[in-house]
Amino acid sequence: MNRLLFLFGLLFFVFAGGRAQSTESDSAYIRDHYTKKEVYITMRDGVRLFTSIYAPKDQTRPYPILLKRTPYTVAPYGEDQFVTSFQNMTLARAGYIWVFQDVRGRWMSEGEFEDIRPINTERKTPKDIDESTDTYDTADWLVKNVSNNNGRIGVYGISYPGFYATNALVEAHPAVKAVSPQAPVTDWFIGDDFHHNGAFLAMDAFSFYRNFGRPRPRPTTSQSSTPLNFPDNYQFYLNLGPLPNYKKEYMGDSIRFWNDLMAHPNLDAFWKARSIRPHLHDVRPAVMVVGGLFDAEDCFGAWRTYEAVQRQNPAGHSSRLVMGPWFHGGWARSGGDHLGNVSFGQPTSEFYQKEIEARFFNYYLKDEGNLDLPEATIFETGSNLWTQYAEWPPKAAVREKIYLQPGGGLAFSAPAGASGYASWISDPAKPVPYTEDVHSGRTREYMDDDQRFAARRPDVLVFQTDVLDTDLTVTGPIDANIYFSTSGTDADLVVKVIDVFPDDAPQWDGSAVPQGGYQMLVRGEVMRGRFRNSYEKPEPFKPGEPAQVRYQLPDIAHTFKKGHRLMVQIQSSWFPLVDRNPQTFVDIYHAVESDFQQAEHRVYFDRSRGSYLEIGVLKK
């Protein structure tokens, strides 16, 4: 890894790219240089999918195709109505055929929509379809019917479209040469969007499905939505009460997937069928998985999709990982120079679009350039440097245990005492908020928010190192190993890894709060305690009896600078980001108010029950 050379290259390309950028607006460029055609493409079972095709007006040479399949509409509809921008205008100016498709059962496409449709492993007739067959049939039609294509297709998409991009890898069409799942929906029970380690992310699921989940009986170019107008989401969800009230007050019986969420509280066949990771073997196209270090929706999906491709394919297969300091889709929707109160010191999105994404597709779809991109291109926060690795997690990172200590300490040595614990009272009527500010909806900035508000609460445990006398770089996943007991029979555990700035930290002009003493959230994750031993067969805690709770937090790449501290906060609620745990072993999706009870929780740190986080420490 040549970090200095890479940083120099970054600065050069950002400067050169800024000078060379066209003054012509994206919208005008597309209208001036592209034609648009709308078609229906027939799938093998006879269902027709609505597809918009933007082709370069210059037909003197062949072009590759970039395909995005989406449940979120290919609007604007009408061959005289153009999008105002493509996801990467560097690629648009380089010459590509852009294809956008409403997936089966959404917007103007025919058929029945199914959320995260499972891969059909028992295909016997043309009626046996899934999203991979729809992608295959679309690709086959495109290369045979779109004029001046060069026979190569790239597939990409962010979030839910990222899920459809991942599906393009399963028994891929021969013309599909490069695929980039970006922040891909991957596993809705373990780590993306609506569950994290079995804990239900009620706010996101509710706000999403009460509009997205409405039935669409026939193709349409419009979809009504009913916004909720409330000034304080914490109070709104607290007043709304247990989960059955969500359906009673707002959902009704028409939101099918909400009913599915409520009917499948454990990792059963329903959820297993909807994890695409086991199917990512025998992958032929080149793969580049992209994600955001501060993605509030699908951070898990990016890391684990890359991991699944790596693990299930030969060592020589072309697969790459790119992770930047972005919120959900921030590489295409922002400059990527900051998030909330934290500055990253450079326009990371521009660099990614020009020097990574454009080069990836140009190489595999147009035979242009030398693709010397490494296996993993990761932005290291804290130091604010792009870094390159031959593998991820880096082999050079040493796995070390950092232990909770009596008195709120945190150290790389195990506690020496024969006994020791810290306790707190968890009250479901007063859950710990996920952010200090009052909002009407879930923020994306909470992912690196200041955590001082939480550290001041009596129901949040705080452990921190001494002031660091040298930089500490942590890379890869974080494994939490917590010895825990409760006076109840169920509980959630939230573990947060935090960078504590020194008191004299200089103020960044874009920050809304003082930077001195700032407690930057680097990674936080929840675990529903009943699943500590099995997601399939949950079990209650025995009141007062210590139990080992182990789970993994998504990867990080962060340098805790000299003069900073590394802090760990532990709490049992994160509201309304995560629904309230009643702290009694009941079906939470059908709980009533009387099921919610206060409980005393304890975390242990002694010779025999040393609670710790295992982290990857990169020596420099």
Instruction: Render pLDDT for 34-83 as a digit per residue (tens, 0 to 9).
Output: 999 999 999 999 999 999 999 999 999 999 999 999 999 999 999 999 99
Please determine, for residue 536, whether its predicted confidence score (pLDDT) is greater than 80. Answer: yes
H-helix or E-strand spanning residue 296 = none
**Contact assessment for residue 354 and residue 17, using Cβ atoms and an 8 Å cutoff:** yes
366-381, pLDDT tens digit by residue? 999 988 999 999 999 9
* Token pair of 315 as six digits: 């060592």
Query: pTM for the complete prediction?
Result: 0.95
DSSP string across 412-477? SS----S--EEEEEE-TTSPPBSSSS--SS--SGGGG-B-HHHHTSTTSEEEEPPPPSS-EEEEEE
Environment class of residue 243 by beta-carbon count within 10 Å: exposed (0-12), middle (13-18) or buried (19+)? buried
Tell me how crowded residue 470 is: count the other CB atoms within 10 A of its CB: 9
**What does the domain layout of the chain look like in residue ranges?**
3-186+276-389, 397-618
* Token pair of 387 as six digits: 């870094």
The class of domain 3-186+276-389 in CATH terms is alpha beta
- The reported pLDDT for the residue numbered 559 is 98
* Token pair of 399 as six digits: 């796995």
Which residue blocks in 241-314 are alpha helix, DSSP H? 244-246, 256-263, 269-273, 299-311
Compute the half-sphere exposure of residue 93: CA atoms within 13 Å on the CB side of its CA. 16
Mean pLDDT over 158-177 rounds to 98
Alpha-carbon distance of 470 to 274, in angstroms, equals 45
Alpha-carbon distance of 214 to 281, in angstroms, equals 34
Q: Could you tell me the pLDDT band of residue 24, with boundaries at 50, 70 and 90? A: low
Give ∠ CA 610-614-616 in degrees, rounded to 5: 155
Alpha-carbon distance of 567 to 456, in angstroms, equals 14
Alpha-carbon distance of 413 to 610, in angstroms, equals 10
Q: Could you tell me the pLDDT band of residue 16, with boundaries at 50, 70 and 90? A: very low
- Reduced to 3 states, what is the DSSP secondary structure of residue 205? helix
Environment class of residue 201 by beta-carbon count within 10 Å: exposed (0-12), middle (13-18) or buried (19+)? buried
* Token pair of 263 as six digits: 């009917």
- The reported pLDDT for the residue numbered 18 is 42
Please determine, for residue 316, whether its predicted confidence score (pLDDT) is greater than 90. Answer: no
What letter does residue 324 receive in the DSSP assignment?
Answer: E
Alpha-carbon distance of 561 to 500, in angstroms, equals 10
409-425, pLDDT tens digit by residue? 999 999 999 999 999 99
Please determine, for residue 10, whether its predicted confidence score (pLDDT) is greater than 70. Answer: no
**Contact assessment for residue 525 and residue 197, using Cβ atoms and an 8 Å cutoff:** yes
**Contact assessment for residue 91 and residue 358, using Cβ atoms and an 8 Å cutoff:** yes
Closest CA to 474 of 373, 554, 537, 366: 554
Environment class of residue 349 by beta-carbon count within 10 Å: exposed (0-12), middle (13-18) or buried (19+)? buried
Superfamily of domain 397-618: Galactose-binding domain-like (2.60.120.260)
Alpha-carbon distance of 79 to 97, in angstroms, equals 15
Proportion of the chain in helix, strand, coil states, percent, rounded to 5:
25, 30, 45
556-601, pLDDT tens digit by residue? 999 999 999 999 999 999 999 999 999 999 999 999 999 999 999 9
Please determine, for residue 365, whether its predicted confidence score (pLDDT) is greater than 90. Answer: yes
- The reported pLDDT for the residue numbered 23 is 45
Alpha-carbon distance of 137 to 41, in angstroms, equals 8
- The reported pLDDT for the residue numbered 168 is 98
Give ∠ CA 66-68-70 in degrees, rounded to 5: 170
First to last CA, the chain: 11
- The reported pLDDT for the residue numbered 229 is 81
**Contact assessment for residue 132 and residue 168, using Cβ atoms and an 8 Å cutoff:** yes
Task: Quote the strand ranges of 146-285, DSSP E.
Answer: 149-158, 176-182, 195-196, 199-200
Alpha-carbon distance of 184 to 70, in angstroms, equals 12
Closest CA to 444 of 297, 231, 235, 227: 297
Closest CA to 226 of 215, 210, 240: 210
> Which residue do the tokens 């491709």 mark?
309
Alpha-carbon distance of 331 to 287, in angstroms, equals 17
Alpha-carbon distance of 613 to 478, in angstroms, equals 7
* Token pair of 123 as six digits: 């295909």
Please determine, for residue 22, whether its predicted confidence score (pLDDT) is greater than 60. Answer: no
